[in-house]
Amino acid sequence: MTYFSEKTILVTGASDGIGRDLVEQLDTHGPQQMILIGRNNRRLEEVAAGCHSETRTESVDLACPDQLDALLKRLEEVQIDVLINNAGVGLGGVFEGEEDAQRITSMIRLNCDAVVLLTRAILPGMLRRQHGAILMVGSLAGWAGGPGMCVYSATKGFVHRFAEGLRWELAGMGVSVSLLAPGVTRTAFFQSAGIDERDIRSGSMSSKEVARQALIGLARGRAIIVPGLRNRMLLMLQGLAPRGLVGWISRRIFAPIMKRQ
Ligand SMILES: NC(=O)c1ccc[n+]([C@@H]2O[C@H](COP(=O)([O-])OP(=O)(O)OC[C@H]3O[C@@H](n4cnc5c(N)ncnc54)[C@H](OP(=O)(O)O)[C@@H]3O)[C@@H](O)[C@H]2O)c1
């Protein structure tokens, strides 16, 4: 028996990347049921087919308010013990060049609105049962304004503050809130964000390792989980350095993403 055994676990962004690895690793703990959410039904079914535990797939665009509402209604009667708010997208390039306002609002809806609304819908049941765990997926980029991905890093800064506030609001009530803040992780994230992965100079981690460290931290109810020693060192240095220096270094690191036409 482990923390995740016999639990009902909901994972957003379960069809690919970190979310897919979280599901595959959670499966080995013998959960009662996993609810897998993403847009791509074929990939969700593939992930589900690889699991030994009971799964339920929900093909939903979480950035679409109507689809999110309908999902929340379908989940009303489900007792969820562990909520993993993982789904998220990025958007690279200079801010004034991000012409497609719809992509920006869709990213904010997914990275911020859906996280808040799913948590708001699922938390009351956890509080009634006096147990539960919530994982919010932020990013190292959520601690510093990211030149070349200003709006993305702002959405992750939002997730960080939300996770921190909620964790303390719920202290002593049986529900833990953990923040996972990965550094560069090898997934399809960069491609879909329009960023060439080779442009990010910092060392990257595999999504399997990020998921492994995430689940250890989540089971222990850790406040902040930063996978990888290198990322933890970066975060520590960032906390010690003057803000101006952090910005100057970020601009140098992310310069290749800031391609102006
Ligand atoms: N990769 C990194 O370097 C990195 C670093 C720090 C933080 N993160 C964060 O880690 C999380 C997972 O990212 P990843 O690297 O695993 O990216 P990924 O491989 O691109 O996976 C993203 C997942 O989110 C789902 N998704 C995207 N848009 C969605 C929508 N509108 N509605 C529902 N599901 C949606 C995708 O499924 P469908 O396509 O099927 O919808 C997919 O399962 C994100 O929150 C990201 O911000 C990533």
Q: Which whole number is the average pLDDT over 125-142?
A: 97
Has residue 258 got a pLDDT over 70? yes
The reply to whether ligand 1 has any atom less than 6 angstroms from the CB of 110 is: yes
Residue whose token pair is 């601009």: 251
Indicate whether residue 228 lines ligand 1 (CB < 6 A). no
Distance 48 CA to ligand 1 centre (A): 17
Domain residue ranges of the chain, discontinuous segments joined by +: 8-257
Residue 260 pLDDT: 56
- Cα 170 from Cα 155, distance rounded (Å): 22
Query: What's the CA gap between 19 and 16, in Å, rounded?
Result: 6
pLDDT surpasses 50 at 149: yes
**pLDDT of 208 strictly over 90:** yes
Q: Which of 17-53 are b and which e, b meaning 16 or more Cβ less than 10 Å from the residue's Cβ? A: bbbbbbbeebbebebebbbbbbbeeebbeebbeebeb
Q: At 255, is the pLDDT very low, low, confident or very high (cuts 50, 70, 90)?
A: confident
Q: Is 19 in the pocket of ligand 1 (CB under 6 A)?
A: yes
Q: How far apart are CA 51 and CA 4, in angstroms?
A: 15
The two tokens of residue 7 are 């639990």
- Confidence grade of residue 192 (pLDDT, cut at 50, 70, 90): very high
**How many whole angstroms from 38 Cα to the centroid of ligand 1?**
9
* Average pLDDT along the chain: 95
Ligand 1 centre distance from Cα of residue 110 (Å): 10
Q: Which two tokens stand for residue 257?
A: 């993403």
Q: Which residues are catalytic?
A: 152
Range of weakest confidence among 73-87, 102-116, 151-165, 238-252: 238-252
Q: Kindly tell me if the per-residue pLDDT of 6 is higher than 80.
A: yes
Q: What is the pTM of this model?
A: 0.97
**CATH superfamily for domain 8-257:** NAD(P)-binding Rossmann-like Domain (3.40.50.720)
